[in-house]
Amino acid sequence: MIAMDDSRVVGYARLSIERNVGYISQMVVEKEMRGKGIGTQLFIKLLEKAREMEVGVFLNALSYHRELRIN
């Protein structure tokens, strides 16, 4: 999944599926675009996609876990 600012890619994140478990990885936002909620939106969109696909998600992103209060 990518995040765009006009025609420029400013962030991306990946959801890979293995044995009915989703793994969110490689989440990156350009340095000058950080703090604008782009990473959070990418993260939320990937969680929504995993729910649509009816797979659980393995979360290895402690900072997002704490910030978004995910249990």
pLDDT tens string, the chain, 71 residues long: the values are 999 999 999 999 988 888 888 888 788 899 999 999 999 899 899 989 988 998 887 766 555 545 555 54
Distance CA 24, CA 12 (A): 11
Helices (H) and strands (E) in the chain, counts: 2, 4
- Count of other CB atoms within 10 angstroms of residue 15: 19
| d(C-alpha 45, C-alpha 22), whole Å | 13
Predicted confidence at residue 19, as pLDDT, reads 86
Contacts of 31 (CB under 8 A, 6+ apart): none
Q: What is the pTM of this model?
A: 0.75
Report pLDDT for 63.
53
The pLDDT score that the predictor gives to residue 33 is 93
Domains and CATH numbers, the chain: 2-68 (3.40.630.30)
> For position 37, what pLDDT does the model report?
92
